[in-house]
Amino acid sequence: MEVTNVMEFEKIAKDKLPKMVYDYFASGAEDEWTLKENTNAFSRILFRPRILVDVSKIEMATVVLGFKISMPIMVAPAAFQRLAHPDGELATARAASAAGTIMTLSSWATASVEEVASTGPGIRFCQLYIMKDRNVVAQLVRRAEGAGFKAFTVTVDTPRFGRREADIKNRLTLPSHLTLKNFEGLDLGRIEKAHGSGVAAYAAAQVDQTLSWKDIKWLQTITKLPIIVKGVLTAEDAKLAVEAGVSGILVSNHGARQLDYVPATIVALEEVVKAVDGKVPVFLDGGIRRGTDVFKALALGASGVFVGRPTVFSLAAGGETGVRKMLKMLRDEFELSMALSGCRSLKEITRDRVVADWDRHHPTRVSPRM
């Protein structure tokens, strides 16, 4: 099958992967309304292209937390990537590096921070869950720093695991040959079988339900690296994040895997951007499947986007080559979207370049510059 767009990687992955594995990567929480809405909401945003602009040269490079990357498209954290392909996170790391962009490694990876670092140079962030045992978190922070990781992305929307019914039915667990490599030496590397989802049971046992803003402050005492808070959907929490001194905010609903019937991230984005008022960069994940989606996110105020499911599905479909192809597809589509909209650089992707269906209810949001 010749792949011509990112969505087609999922079709290949579904054919190749065991049902339990495909369902884990593909499914969302409960009714999966937000899962569908994450992608559907992009279709309610239309372009306002400008014409007769010289777009023979398009500049897509950007700077994220001081690091120059080739495009505002980065790799989101995704756990258990060796379920998708034997090379797992190592293949993803090499592909992201080749694309000149950032990879975020899940703390629940099936390759350790040291193994990922050994794949060669690259800009890498480390995602963290705040575990009940803070020593486990502190140890991983030190190891990630030692392995050359450049920032930490703290997932804050998971005090409890969302109800993912596909995982419950499949009794999701990791096969015996796979472990959570970052915790292997701490007797926390294995996920045991459970009556329902083994992963949910592991999370309930290990992730701290008392997580609060004080833990962000605690993390700042044990690392000088930038901290991005992942899981913000409201202006109120965005303001608290800024007050807490974070370096960035990631508008995320955990790929619609936590609380169902929360807004699509692209719908929540502007509220967060307005609350932050330029004090820190705001990023977005969830529902990115086209270069046009990237353009729309930037027009609504995002400094960049992270892609999750496209990464694991392209990894399943073709290993490192698949992930490279996926990133190139999104890059090429994004460049074309810029050219056909009359934007030669990222700074020209402004709010007046798009119109959303919700603008009818908030007419002051769009002020076209003629």
Active site residues: 254
- H/E run at residue 19: helix 19-26
> Is residue 199 a contact partner of residue 162, using CB atoms and an 8 Å limit?
no
Angle between helices 309-341 and 7-16 (to 10 degrees): 160
CA 346 to chain centre: 20
Tokens for 283, please give them: 């990023």
CA 230 to chain centre: 9
> Is residue 33 a contact partner of residue 334, using CB atoms and an 8 Å limit?
no
* 304 bridge partner residues: 283
Q: At which residue do the structure tokens 């777009």 appear?
A: 55
- d(CA 72, CA 100) in angstroms, rounded, equals 10
Angle at 285 between CA 282 and CA 287, to 5 degrees: 140
Tokens for 172, please give them: 């999701």
Tokens for 241, please give them: 């994040």
173-181 contact pairs (CB < 8 A, 24+):
173/198, 173/199, 174/80, 174/83, 174/110, 174/198, 175/83, 178/80, 178/82, 178/83, 178/110, 179/110, 180/107, 180/108, 180/109, 180/110, 181/109, 181/110, 181/111, 181/112, 181/115
